[in-house]
Amino acid sequence: MSYDTSNIRNAVLLGHPGSGKTTLAETMLFESGSITRRGTVEDRNTVSDYTDIEHERGNSIFAALMHDDWRGNKINVLDTPGFDDFIGEVVSSLKVADTALMVINAKSGVEVGTELLWEYVEDFKTPTLFVVNQVDHEKSDFDAAVEQATARFGNKVLPIQYPLNQGTGFNTIVDALRMTMYVFPPEGGKPEKQEIPASEKDRVLAMHNAIVEAAAENDEELMERYFEHGTLSEEELAYGLRVAIGKRAVFPLFCVSAINNMGSGRIMGFINDVCPAPNQRSAAPLVGGGELECNPDDDTTIFIFKTHNEPRVGNISYFKVFSGVLKAGDELVNASNRTTERFGQLYIANGKNREPVDELRAGDLGCTVKLKNSHTNQTLTKKGTDREIEPIKYPNSRIEVAVVPPSKNEMEKLMKALHSIAEEDPTLIIEQSKTLKQTLLYGQGQLQLDLVKHRVESEFGVSMSFEKPRIPYRETITREANEMYRHKKQTGGAGQFAEVHMRIEPYYDGMPDPSGLTVRNAEVEDLPWGGKLAYYWCIVGGSIDSRFSNAIKKGVLMKMEEGPLTGSNCQDIRVCIYDGKMHPVDSNDMAFMIASQQAFKLCFSKAAPQLLEPIYEVEILCSGDVMGDVMGDLQTRRAIIMGMGTEGHYQKITARVPLAEMYLYSSTLRSISQGRAKFTRRFAEYVAVPPDIQQKLIQEYKEQAGDED
């Protein structure tokens, strides 16, 4: 069945781990009649958590696409993971959703994970509903959860309902929008509508008036009617709320017990009746400027927001039709690589179950199989249509490990497996570092990387291990030094001869010319690894022919690429070649390369060499009760605390931490805070390594070099 754009709703479920998103999704499917029996997370039979690894762990790892038919409309539901290690699944889902349902645990309230997710909701400007779940829990505190949501997300949070008897025995919801009370049977499902008790009338009336005012504020005509009549009709109220939600002027808040199937039907009805259809959202921005309206009459354009590799099936590509109508058998062109893809079959999905359809119209979500050259974050469009939807910007990585194969022979197979998994999750980055001589895997957290290891071993049959990555130290100097080196080699035939006199000194932009030397030629080069090399040719009188200049510079660069202290890259050095000797027969490029390498090494050791280490600016949000433990751990990591403050009702710590001390920090922070903290990091600068650590690193390098010899 094909749905018109105006009859489609796309909702994404967001929330901290344990908030009950998967159970709510299951209940929504059951309420709509899409499934006849509700599964549970404990029984490992929910529609959205269908992979073996999710069954093993008992929580969501992948975003799952489902759909409900609700009174002739289609509600697409995306259930997303709660752990921020899998934030890529969340960001991808937000890209194609038109409404976000932020699920809050009534016992725990707004948690750090909720705040992290909210940043992405704000970035995408997604209309949002709040759902306070688990009001049946014996420690449920609905009012505290609402208070926290209002404190963190502002007065736009608009309570629509509240539980009359939260906790054990919960079965009643008071609805201030419809001014009625829902009493649920013990098995949940369809409630009985009853009059609101007199004891609740004042509270409900105050809530209702706040809802009416919020609906009227965003439309002048409605505001006039409100002033004239003192209220709005049900149709006017629905229209006003639709406008307000679309503008993100209000965030309606509901309550449910998903596990007992109490309240989810009301939320689905609200999504259906009030939340925006895809063509009522802002147009999608395009690469290079311009926008794309969600219009079924336009040329067909789709965006792949997720790729999942399924055993015996291969890659399944999940997409949103941003414009036009996609039909089975259509051919579209990939805007990134200009390849043509044929959509042999189209499906709508309920977890792992897929149902073939003939077409999908603008605004709808679906999937297909066997696309050869198209992956997550790519646009496909009708041939001759030059447009590309702005791709998703994924968050920077927060953790890295070095990947170790069981043997060199297995490396190619391992890399193929890693790249296959990285195609599904763009937050995973694989780097074969020439500098560190390691294969590095970057991600969001230890849980994510452990999952990668599990999948490589179970799905691809390759064993692998992680080890601590080497640190990309830098080497530089702190004072001037002069030295010479003569290279002389005689082998019976033509020999090798070169003598180079060199001065090196710390380089900075705008520094004066070297004293006592005549500069014939000066080059300042940006080095591939960062920093600069200033190379000055100061030969007077032809003691070395200028044709050997490039060879001497090449020798210097070769030594700077693998520095004398620890084999790390050197940077920010000025090299002046001011004298030397050559032989009319035995001098050649190779001889001068060798001589310049050795002269640089000798100079470097005399120039008070300094090892530099990368420093990262780390920002941590945590609850106040674990702040002391977090600070104590940072101090063991040579961190410098730059500031402390608050953000919402969380403590915020800003620190500068050496990268060498950040290994496994994600796991440590999760352990310290019981999962109630988050952190971000970004590169700040290179600074001098403390003398004792520098000596230790130099000694380790010498020992390693000796072992290799």
Alpha-carbon gap, residue 561 to 541, rounded angstroms: 31
Same domain, yes or no: 541 and 622 = no
Find out whether 121 and 128 touch, Cβ atoms under 8 Å: yes
Find out whether 25 and 47 touch, Cβ atoms under 8 Å: yes
Query: Model confidence over 298-316: pLDDT tens digits?
Result: 999 999 999 998 877 888 9
DSSP state of 141: -
- Does the pTM exceed 0.75? yes
Same domain, yes or no: 492 and 596 = yes
Alpha-carbon gap, residue 651 to 115, rounded angstroms: 12
Find the mean pLDDT for residues 512-539.
95
Find out whether 456 and 421 touch, Cβ atoms under 8 Å: yes
Same domain, yes or no: 121 and 26 = yes
DSSP state of 129: E
Q: Would residue 422 count as lying in a domain?
A: yes
CATH of the domain at 519: 3.30.230.10
CATH of the domain at 28: 3.40.50.300
Any idea of the CA torsion for 292, 294, 299, 302, to the nearest 10 degrees?
90
Same domain, yes or no: 376 and 518 = no
Find out whether 415 and 430 touch, Cβ atoms under 8 Å: yes
DSSP state of 110: S
Strand-strand pairing, 532-537 and 573-581: parallel
Strand-strand pairing, 573-581 and 496-506: antiparallel
Give residue 289's identity as a one-letter amino acid code. G
Same domain, yes or no: 675 and 581 = no
Closest CA to 505 of 513, 494, 496, 493: 513
Alpha-carbon gap, residue 535 to 524, rounded angstroms: 6
DSSP for 44-90?
T--SS--SHHHHHHTS--S-EEEEEEETTEEEEEEE--SSGGGHHHH
Same domain, yes or no: 669 and 599 = no
pLDDT at 51: 86
pLDDT at 707: 55
DSSP for 624-686?
GGGHHHHHHHHHTTT-EEEEEEEETTEEEEEEEEEGGG-TTHHHHHHHHHTT-EEEEEEEEEE
* Residue 709 binned pLDDT confidence (cut-offs 50, 70, 90): very low
Give me the residue label for tokens 């497996």.
417
Give residue 220's identity as a one-letter amino acid code. E
Q: Would residue 95 count as lying in a domain?
A: yes
Q: Would residue 227 count as lying in a domain?
A: no
SS3 643: strand
**Number of neighbouring beta carbons within 10 Å of residue 192:** 10
Closest CA to 156 of 204, 214, 200: 214
Give me the residue label for tokens 């940072």.
634
Residue 708 has pLDDT above 60, yes or no: no
Find the mean pLDDT for residues 358-368.
97
The domain boundary, picked from 607, 624, 654, lies at 607
Number of residues assigned to the chain: 709
Bridge partners of 551, per DSSP, are: none
**HSE-CB of 67 using CA atoms within 13 angstroms:** 23
Least confident of 130-139, 377-386, 663-672: 663-672
pLDDT at 706: 66
Strand-strand pairing, 331-334 and 128-133: unpaired
Residue 408, exposed/middle/buried by CB under 10 A (0-12, 13-18, 19+)? Answer: exposed
How far is residue 530 from each of residues 61, 106, 527, 567, measured CA to CA in Å?
37, 50, 5, 16
Same domain, yes or no: 642 and 529 = no
Q: Would residue 76 count as lying in a domain?
A: yes
* Residue 540 binned pLDDT confidence (cut-offs 50, 70, 90): confident
Closest CA to 623 of 653, 596, 601: 653
Alpha-carbon gap, residue 613 to 63, rounded angstroms: 38
Alpha-carbon gap, residue 658 to 75, rounded angstroms: 48
Query: Model confidence over 570-591: pLDDT tens digits?
Result: 999 999 999 999 998 899 999 9
pLDDT at 470: 94
How much of the chain exceeds pLDDT 70, in percent? 99
Same domain, yes or no: 360 and 410 = no
The domain boundary, picked from 423, 451, 467, lies at 467
Q: Helices 112-124 and 142-153, interaxial angle, to 10°?
A: 50
Greatest Cα pair distance in the chain:
112
pLDDT at 489: 87
Query: Model confidence over 457-466: pLDDT tens digits?
Result: 988 999 999 9
**Number of neighbouring beta carbons within 10 Å of residue 509:** 8
Query: Model confidence over 389-405: pLDDT tens digits?
Result: 999 999 989 899 999 99
Same domain, yes or no: 22 and 82 = yes
Domains held by the chain: number? 5
pLDDT at 493: 67
Find the mean pLDDT for residues 107-128.
91
Q: Residue 474 is encoded by which pair of tokens?
A: 């830098």
Alpha-carbon gap, residue 34 to 600, rounded angstroms: 74
Residue 703 has pLDDT above 90, yes or no: no
CATH of the domain at 366: 2.40.30.10
Find out whether 168 and 138 touch, Cβ atoms under 8 Å: yes
pLDDT at 562: 92
Same domain, yes or no: 617 and 646 = yes
Alpha-carbon gap, residue 366 to 356, rounded angstroms: 10
Alpha-carbon gap, residue 274 to 254, rounded angstroms: 14
Find out whether 133 and 104 touch, Cβ atoms under 8 Å: yes
* Residue 235 binned pLDDT confidence (cut-offs 50, 70, 90): confident
Give me the residue label for tokens 């009950």.
20
Same domain, yes or no: 103 and 177 = yes
Q: Would residue 216 count as lying in a domain?
A: no
Residue 492 has pLDDT above 80, yes or no: no
Find out whether 42 and 2 touch, Cβ atoms under 8 Å: no
Q: Would residue 301 count as lying in a domain?
A: yes
CATH of the domain at 637: 3.30.70.240
Strand-strand pairing, 172-175 and 301-310: unpaired
Q: Residue 546 is encoded by which pair of tokens?
A: 């200028």
SS3 197: coil
How much of the chain exceeds pLDDT 90, in percent? 80
Query: What values do phi and psi take at 337, rounded to 5?
Result: -120, 5
Residue 172 has pLDDT above 90, yes or no: yes
pLDDT at 475: 97
601 sits in which H/E element:
helix 589-606
DSSP state of 199: G
Same domain, yes or no: 124 and 164 = yes
DSSP state of 115: H
* Residue 413 binned pLDDT confidence (cut-offs 50, 70, 90): very high
Q: How far from chain centre, in Å, is Cα 400?
A: 14
Q: Would residue 243 count as lying in a domain?
A: no
Q: Residue 53 is encoded by which pair of tokens?
A: 């690894």
Q: Would residue 242 count as lying in a domain?
A: no
CATH of the domain at 453: 3.30.70.870
Structural domain that includes position 493: 475-607
Average pLDDT value over all residues in the chain: 93
DSSP state of 615: E
